[in-house]
Structure 1
């Protein structure tokens, strides 16, 4: 099966709009419908779009609606690319490599773009939404220094308990060879699966069963030359991933794949791509998956991947600390079982630069494939 993907928007891809991948030539729209808020419901003449702006006081927001509305739903929150501030002191001995360029970039540009107060506003709002589970999809650090890993551990401890929070690494967490392996022990409770095995370099993919969800974390973090921010899953991880997908498929769980780099070619520039993204797409097409979420692009991406069970959404989230370009945001994924699979309600909660508040910026709903739906249907009809 040849994997197929597409974007929500019809505009061609540019350096600032990369929601459309470079393939296949025959792309179809992202199969989502907007969920209007109270104010939007009155605008009956407006044409619905896949990117529907909604008021902050959303009737669909977590903790803003009766429990009976979504009696069996599970809510997963996703943050990504927080790029926590660098320590005040960086030992010069750590800078005889790619990190020197990263340090210069931080002090001349990135520290003005990725702001701790923006991240703090998002985290405060996330706590108020009270999701069941949280994931951080990489790039907590900037240079992959061990001191950064220690500081990030304190931030993770404040965010949520390890049993509620799953972390996967990004390219900045593996800036130079050995950076992730040295830093990973500091985050161990947050990236271990239900049955941890091996060391940092061999432990992924990890699996956490959380209610109806199978949260599967992949590592795409590899050291790359200056000027590049590529990632790679690798054959050992792909082999183990296939086993986990088959296992959780038989358990009738909703399989959510979490990684840092986008897997679909054309989502980001070539120098930032996932080197074995096509191989990963082919694996997912063959084994099936219900939802794929990632970071890295610092922009919203709403794509889809055709699998054996149907079209699986592939969704990217912006940086959680960005105060410029596409402003900081996090995602809430509300997943609940349906007669023919699963339903997904996605809410984008975005930082508002004019007053520093966080609002409900977009909401959409779509159906997720479910491997056992076809087999279950005849039993229900008897």
Structure 2
């Protein structure tokens, strides 16, 4: 038996109060996110994020899957700050970008490309192996017009995703997809949605997967997509830095415990919620089981 612990967190929105932001940096869509940050800075707190990271570290996870929005404006200085933050985390990390990380067209190497050490071999979708788990990282974050926070994976990524899912499925691996935008229309408004969610869903229906992890909505959710041999769970998580008493939106992370057996896998997922009073609560586990000879999900049970 092999046990792998994956932590899933998202949308840390690292504070920018100590960074020098020049007026010229804001002569584009970034000005809207800067004005939004003046309001959200009272919600996204460094102390809340620190509690989440310390709680993750205390669980001795094998990997932290971070599904985007490390920044607020996607500035080079912000991406450098996020690089320093990532380098100080005491656990292995895998990252995919979020829409705030790609607000406008920017030099890859000066911005998101700084996080390449925490990604798999590019181009997207990349694959990182964690024992019997294949973390598959997609990029749904691309510059969009003002007042639009939607994303897409595009035809090229979708074709590569299909090939990756087939290859890792034939290897009997537990396939966990990381994407920033939720791949289901009802989980967010149209202007914040994954525009080609149908394309993504068709790929999962044809080729299968075991789990999809996303962020973006700042709300912890559980949904499913049709898979090749049964429903595929889709887990969203609240922002890792939100300081609120609302359990659905409070700073949280998902603990994904994958147990590998000769005959298949067992996946147990719980959510750890960091409330403003400093207390941490844990949701009841949700348990998924599936056979190694048929990698797509074959059964779901909840206690």
TM-score, scaled relative to structure 1: 0.73
Contact kept, 8 Å, 1:134 with 1:166, in 2: the verdict is: yes
For 1:176 and 1:370, locate their aligned partners in 2 and report how far apart those are by CA, in whole Å: 43
Shift of 1:182: 3.6
Secondary structure of the corresponding residue to residue 56 of structure 2: helix
Specify whether residues 181 and 272 from structure 1 end up closer, same or farther in structure 2 by C-alpha distance, changes over 3 A only. Answer: farther
Match of 2:40 in 1: 110
Alignment of 1:1-382 (within 5 A): 72-86=2-16, 87-107=18-38, 109-160=39-90, 164-178=92-106, 182-191=110-119, 193=120, 196-197=121-122, 203-324=123-244, 325=246, 326-337=249-260, 341-354=264-277, 356-357=278-279, 359-370=280-291, 372-373=293-294
Shift of 1:228: 1.3
Gaps of 5+ in 2: 296-303
Q: In the TM superposition, what whole-angstrom CA distance separates every residue of 1:44-71 from its partner, at most 9, and x where no partner exists?
A: xxxxxxxxxxxxxxxxxxxxxxxxxxx5
Specify whether residues 160 and 219 from structure 1 end up closer, same or farther in structure 2 by C-alpha distance, changes over 3 A only. Answer: farther
Shift of 1:171: 0.2
Gaps of 5+ in 1: 1-70, 198-202, 375-382
For 1:234 and 1:373, locate their aligned partners in 2 and report how far apart those are by CA, in whole Å: 28
Contact kept, 8 Å, 1:339 with 1:373, in 2: the verdict is: no
For 1:370 and 1:236, locate their aligned partners in 2 and report how far apart those are by CA, in whole Å: 30
Shift of 1:115: 0.3
Contact kept, 8 Å, 1:285 with 1:306, in 2: the verdict is: yes
For 1:368 and 1:263, locate their aligned partners in 2 and report how far apart those are by CA, in whole Å: 22
For 1:180 and 1:273, locate their aligned partners in 2 and report how far apart those are by CA, in whole Å: 24
Secondary structure of the corresponding residue to residue 242 of structure 2: coil
For 1:370 and 1:225, locate their aligned partners in 2 and report how far apart those are by CA, in whole Å: 44
Match of 2:298 in 1: none
Shift of 1:72: 2.5
More strand by share: 2
Secondary structure of the corresponding residue to residue 285 of structure 2: strand
For 1:90 and 1:81, locate their aligned partners in 2 and report how far apart those are by CA, in whole Å: 21
Secondary structure of the corresponding residue to residue 112 of structure 2: helix
Q: In the TM superposition, what whole-angstrom CA distance separates every residue of 1:122-165 from its partner, at most 9, and x where no partner exists?
A: 1111111111111110000000000000000111011146xx21
Contact kept, 8 Å, 2:57 with 2:90, in 1: the verdict is: no
Specify whether residues 265 and 341 from structure 1 end up closer, same or farther in structure 2 by C-alpha distance, changes over 3 A only. Answer: farther
For this pair of structures, how many residues does the alignment match?
A: 291
Secondary structure of the corresponding residue to residue 286 of structure 2: strand
TM-score, scaled relative to structure 2: 0.91
For 2:205 and 2:124, locate their aligned partners in 1 and report how far apart those are by CA, in whole Å: 20
Shift of 1:312: 1.3
Which has the larger Rg?
A: 1
For 1:370 and 1:284, locate their aligned partners in 2 and report how far apart those are by CA, in whole Å: 17
Secondary structure of the corresponding residue to residue 154 of structure 1: helix
For 1:232 and 1:105, locate their aligned partners in 2 and report how far apart those are by CA, in whole Å: 23
Shift of 1:179: 5.9
RMSD: 1.7
Greater Cα offset, 332-341 or 237-246: 332-341
Contact kept, 8 Å, 1:309 with 1:370, in 2: the verdict is: no
Shift of 1:345: 1.0
